[in-house]
A and B are shown apart, each in its own frame.
Chain A
Amino acid sequence: MNLDNHIEKFQKKDIGAFETLYNMYAENICGAINVIVKDSERSQEICQDVFVKIWEKSDQYDPSKGRFFTWILNIARNAAIDEVRSKTYKNQKKNLPVHSLVDIFENSEDLNSKMDTIGLQTLLKGLKEKCILLIDLLYFKGYTQKEAAKELDTPVGTVKTRIRSCISKIRKNMA
């Protein structure tokens, strides 16, 4: 059975199909949260809440608005960003840290996040910091093209071509 079938069944509240989707994407969703939250235990809890939310919102997914993974990734990053905002606000009144993926890439000894930093470093090998930052903003923080351009202080028109070349480099690293 293919992905579209599982998604269709999941939207009809078929718990078995949902379990299949969970097994397919749990690591990715928990990973995306961990990039932002950087605390593996807390990320696991949020990740579980996110899947409950995905189930509750199952009828809201509209395939004409994008990929299923894009949709759940968006729910996950909103939850992760909410967590960091409320926490940093309480503790230090700081803004959302901007460089999460860059930080992880550079500080391999980050113990709390318990991730596969070697795997991550292999994937991101040879990428310029601006590239990693752009991936972080677009995929992990949900920045729009315009917001990402402002953050990186570059014309909006270059965001598209730049993300293309950044992702292509990772694809070469994967090969």
Chain B
Amino acid sequence: MSIDVKEYIASGTLELYVAGELSPEENLEVQHYAIQYPEIRKEIEEIEKTILEITKAASPDIPKDGFQKIRAEISNVIPFAPDRSVNKKVPLGNYLGWAASVILAIGLFWMYTENAKLKSEIELTNQEKQSIEDTLSDTQDRINIKENMLQQIRDKNVTVIALGGQTIAPTSYAKVYWNKEEQKVIIDAQGLPEPPTGFTYQVWSLKLDPLTPTSIGLLDEFRSQDSKLFALENTNESEAFGITLEPEGGSETPTLEQLYTLGAVGA
């Protein structure tokens, strides 16, 4: 597998990698490239260095014995001074006292670890709950948008125009739901292929005699819009509709060689 290293670096993927915001698959991909291309590895280190600089500047003073405190907290060993007077007769009660305190210490440690385990389980469950709630609210939003669109399509004033595939893309198709009263159209673009990067679909209202195209809008964010339904305004007395592929941002006039679909009103 070979890639354009410069382009890959310029994409911003490595910045997100350092932030920890890539998917597991993307993480693996970055690591794979970092091994294959030293330039990528170096770039990752440079980006990390930037974040290290910012976080360092934001640091409070750190106590000199900082690590000693941590070491004390993480050492499981309970310091135990050996009894020098082994030979002396020690009353049985003393041994019992020691034994009891050792058992207590073990008990306390056991409770501490159990508690820590439970805490991390709760944390995990909370994270899962949050992510499920997020998904749910996302889904709800999407359903609302779709229901709204469906309502509009079902309106009795709506005319449906089927757009058929043209020379450049014979298998593609689209539908226009036109509400003349409200001067709105909904484009169902499910039958169009994903536009290449840097390009976007543009929808045109056409008058046939003489042929006059008027742009009514772009199908922006085509990739991320999974319903592929787009609402646009149309104040024209359209006789036909067409969809062309144009450079991002759209064009003044349609590029007819890139006409994907076309259909006449009432045809």
Binding site for B on A (CB under 8 A): 15, 19, 22-23, 26-32, 34-35, 40-41, 43-44, 47-48, 51-52, 55-56, 64-67, 69-71, 73-74, 104, 113-117, 119-120, 123-124, 135, 138-139, 142-145, 155-157, 159-164, 167, 170-171, 174
Q: Which residues of A contact B239 (CB under 8 A)?
A: none
Q: Roughly how many angstroms separate A52 CA and B20 CA in the complex, as a whole number?
A: 21
Q: Roughly how many angstroms separate A117 CA and B58 CA in the complex, as a whole number?
A: 7
**Given A43-B60, A51-B70, A160-B13: A167 in contact with B27 (beta carbons within 8 A):** no
Q: Which residues of B contact A163 (CB under 8 A)?
A: 12, 15-16, 19
21 sample A-B contacts, Cβ–Cβ < 8 Å, listed by A number? A23-B67, A28-B51, A30-B62, A31-B54, A40-B60, A56-B74, A64-B28, A67-B17, A67-B44, A70-B19, A73-B55, A115-B58, A115-B60, A116-B58, A123-B53, A138-B21, A143-B21, A157-B224, A160-B11, A160-B12, A167-B15
Q: Which residues of B contact A52 (CB under 8 A)?
A: 70, 73-74
Q: A160 CB to closest chain B CB, in angstroms?
A: 3
Q: Does B87 touch A at the CB level, under 8 Å?
A: no
Q: Are B15 and A164 in contact (CB under 8 A)?
A: yes
Q: In this complex, what residue of B is CB-closest to A163?
A: B15
Q: B114 CB to closest chain A CB, in angstroms?
A: 13
Selected from A26, A56, A138, A145, the residue in CB contact (under 8 A) with B62 is A26
**Given A52-B74, A144-B21, A156-B224: A139 in contact with B51 (beta carbons within 8 A):** yes
Q: Are B54 and A170 in contact (CB under 8 A)?
A: yes
Q: In this complex, what residue of B is CB-closest to A65?
A: B27
Q: Are B47 and A167 in contact (CB under 8 A)?
A: yes
Q: Which of B28, B47, B51, B60 has the most chain A CB atoms closer than 10 A to its own CB?
A: B60
Selected from B11, B47, B58, B224, the residue in CB contact (under 8 A) with A34 is B58
Q: Roughly how many angstroms separate A107 CA and B80 CA in the complex, as a whole number?
A: 51
Selected from B15, B54, B61, B62, the residue in CB contact (under 8 A) with A123 is B54
Selected from B22, B50, B62, the residue in CB contact (under 8 A) with A167 is B50
Q: In this complex, what residue of B is CB-closest to A114?
A: B60
Question: B58-101 toward A: CB 8 Å interface, digit per residue (1/0)?
Answer: 11111100110111011000000000000000000000000000
Q: Does B267 touch A at the CB level, under 8 Å?
A: no
Q: Are A160 and B16 in contact (CB under 8 A)?
A: yes
Q: Which of A15, A30, A143, A170 has the most chain B CB atoms closer than 10 A to its own CB?
A: A30
Q: A23-B67, A71-B20, A164-B11 are in contact. List 10 more A-B contacts (CB 8 A).
A: A30-B59, A30-B62, A34-B59, A55-B74, A66-B27, A70-B48, A73-B55, A157-B224, A167-B50, A174-B53
Q: Are B55 and A44 in contact (CB under 8 A)?
A: no
Q: In this complex, what residue of A is CB-closest to B127?
A: A78
A-B contacts counted at CB < 8 A amount to 158
Q: Are B60 and A30 in contact (CB under 8 A)?
A: yes
Q: Which residues of A contact B116 (CB under 8 A)?
A: 56
Q: Roughly how many angstroms separate A143 CA and B55 CA in the complex, as a whole number?
A: 17
Q: Are A161 and B18 in contact (CB under 8 A)?
A: no
